[in-house]
Chains A and B, each alone.
Chain A
Amino acid sequence: MYEEQMAATSAVVDEVLPPLDPTGVPNLDLVLGGGLVRGSLMILVGPPGCGKTTLATQMAFAAARTGRRTLIFTALSESSSKLLGHLRVYGFYDRKLIGEQVKVLSLQQFMSLGLAGTAAEVVAQAREEQASLVVIDGFSGLRAIDPDPRAARQFLFDVGTTLSLHGTTTIITTEANVRDPQFFPEATTADTILGLHFSVYDERQRRRLEVIKARGETPLSGLHGLAISTAGIVISPRLEARVTWAPQEQATHLDQEQEEEENSAGDGRAAFDLPALDSLVAGGITRATTTIVIGSGGTGKTLLGLHFALAGVRAGEPVVFLGFHENRRQLLLKADAFNLGAALRGALAPGGNLTLLHHAPVELDPDALADELLATLDRTGARRLVVDSIAVVERAVTEVSTGRRVQNYLAALMAVLQARRVTALFTKETGPLAGAELELETDLSSGVAENLLWLQGVIYQEQYYRVLSVLKMRYSPHDLTLREFTITAPAGIEVRGTSESELGLLAGIARQQDESQVGILSGLGGGRRSGMRPKDDEPARSRP
């Protein structure tokens, strides 16, 4: 009985909830928890230049494009002619809408009426025009009419409440510090408050957006990236907030049968198509996990990433390759040297299943990067991802935030990849040669990732060798032995069996490293003996 009553109540509540309108600002609906509540009062607060007017007018044009009538009132911040002139540079601006769906009016003439009179004029205009969205740009200019905060609060209440009764959404921009204590008493009547931050550090400017308040919605918490481009404003949701607040970004749970099928040895796993390496990892990488390929420069990390990507393409899987050091041309040059050029060209051709994203490793915004990556993965339905290298991403995070954010960011990145069942391979640079201190226990990405492959360049008895080892593989049996591998043109990477390596090489390297790097694996949850190297008197073994 009680449940029936509750179900009936829920149905009624669902019906009376005001509809959500799309804001027309990329990702703002996601950040707000759905969109703009129709009939609500939204205040955009921030310092000059943070993007308040652009954001408000972008929402107005988005509404107008759907046939809704919008009114934009300018106060003292900018004349309506100048406002329209400035908006012309943006992709959302549409001159055809001006004068019909979008009307821009000046409030200046009404300001002599005081705040109450001005509010009455705004309401009267909105009713005459049957506007469904009203923007008042530059409320701080209106506040100058009457310095009494109660008058400002009354204005917002009169406008917000009256227009709300008509189903008209109101957006007001005001210039103030986001945390200005004088602002908040005035803004109590607002349903939604968006704070826009604009800061300068080093030589960079950075804009961010924060949902300070959103009645009736479940917004994403924290500071989100805000970029102003010729298209208009684009919001990049804080990656960690996507995971903690959006259920769809949390890992999906396969039933046991699906999991076993996906990860069954052989075809179910994500192979490199390098038989000797695949044999070390039970036929391939466990699906929906992240592998870090760690190694010094020149050990073959990017090439191994290419092998992994092209193996995915050969298996018919959509693959995304996010690179920072090599652009398309440079990547093709590298592939050409190792007989991979034709395969890479084919994969990059339209319909070829490989999508290349390239950014120069300069002033990257980690949230914008994550947003682009996730959008590309969703668009292509990617099953594999290569990031070359994750160190660039880590640097991007620490440049715009504190170092404390890195681990959360990486964990969130891996969570959203896992939610999409993407098998990821990240490369990461370490010191120049094996024998140097490798601080894995403090290396955040290595700690968070499920799997760790270590490529080393070692000098043994005055010869340079490359060796690889599987340091950890969280959900899978794997072979712990060191393996020598070669990179030769045009053969590419060839991983040798233990018997093919020079007599004593692997045992000698293991002994050498035991002597110089005691405890390097202590932070990986396995301890040294259960970690990367068998003792030289121990045979190679597998660990479940």
Chain B
Amino acid sequence: MTRFPDAAELGTGDDPALVLIVEDEEPLAETVGYVVRAAGYRPLVAFHGRQGLELARGKRPALLIVDLMLPHLDGSGIIAALRADATISGEPPPPCILMTAANLPRARAAHADAVLLKPFQLADLETLLRRFLGPSTLSRGEW
């Protein structure tokens, strides 16, 4: 039976908002996690789509940063599944930033709240973090 690596929780604080990063490329996932933590939030990393969706449902992050191309379930599949969940539960889905090397129409088709076209600058990521989570390091609460 195939065993998947465990998701890595890179932060330990209690209060900061939880940010779920779903990215199959480890160095990039770790870098994004570092930026998230440096901005005062709590990063949680999944390395493939199915694992990312499980964590999104279980951990209820304040923000998702997902790659479009992922093993097992791609980023657009995660977003669609969380929106379907929201329709049933009546609670809004978490905002989602999509990272992708695909072109903009393809990225928009995933219906993310924001798109970071690869290669992107980390400053752009920081801007989006502030836009969705606010400037402070205080938690906006988990959904």
Contacts and interface: CB of A to CB of B under 8 A. Distances in A.
Contacts of B101: 80-81, 84-85, 95, 98-99, 104
A80 B24 CA distance: 9
B106 A79 contact: no
Given A81-B118, A128-B72, A95 B5 contact: no
Interface stretch (A113-121, A272-280, A335-343, A521-529): A113-121
Contacts of A85: 101, 118-119
Contacts of A106: 24-26
A109 B47 contact: yes
Contact of A99 (B2, B26, B48, B106): B106
B interface: dominant SS? loop
B103 interface: yes
Interface string B97-117: 000111101110000000000
Nearest to A74: B25
A99 B69 CA distance: 6
A69 to B, nearest CB: 12
Nearest to B72: A128
B71 interface: yes
Given A109-B5, A109-B24, A96 B106 contact: yes
Nearest to A122: B71
B70 interface: yes
A286 B50 CA distance: 73
- Interface size range of chain B in the complex: 20 to 34
Contacts of A128: 72
A57 B28 CA distance: 22
B68 interface: yes
B27 interface: yes
A121 B4 CA distance: 10
Given A85-B119, A128-B72, A99 B3 contact: no
A125 interface: yes
Contacts of B47: 109
Contacts of B74: 99, 103
Contact of B26 (A96, A109, A113, A121): A109
Mostly, the A contact residues are helix
A99 B105 CA distance: 11
B71 A95 contact: no
Interface residues of A, number: 26
Contact of A121 (B71, B100, B119): B71
A469 to B, nearest CB: 67
A128 B119 CA distance: 27
Interface string A71-109: 000100001110011000000000110111001111011
A166 B98 CA distance: 32
Interface in B10-68: 24-28, 47-48, 68
A402 interface: no
Interface in A437-477: none
A315 interface: no
Contacts of B5: 109-110, 112
Contacts of B70: 105
Interface string A120-147: 1100110010000000000000000000
B71 A125 contact: yes
Contacts of B106: 96, 98-100
A113 B69 contact: no
B69 A79 contact: no
Contact of B2 (A74, A79, A80, A117): A117
Interface centre among B26, B74, B102 (most CB of A within 10 A): B102
B118 A104 contact: no
B2 A105 contact: no
A99 B25 contact: no
Contacts of A104: 69, 101
Given A98-B106, A104-B69, A121-B71, A79 B48 contact: no
A98 B2 contact: no
B74 to A, nearest CB: 8
Contacts of A125: 71-72
A106 B72 CA distance: 12
Contacts of B69: 80, 98-99, 103-105
19 contacts: A80-B24, A80-B25, A81-B28, A84-B101, A85-B118, A85-B119, A96-B105, A99-B68, A99-B102, A100-B102, A103-B74, A104-B69, A105-B70, A106-B25, A109-B5, A110-B5, A110-B71, A112-B5, A125-B71
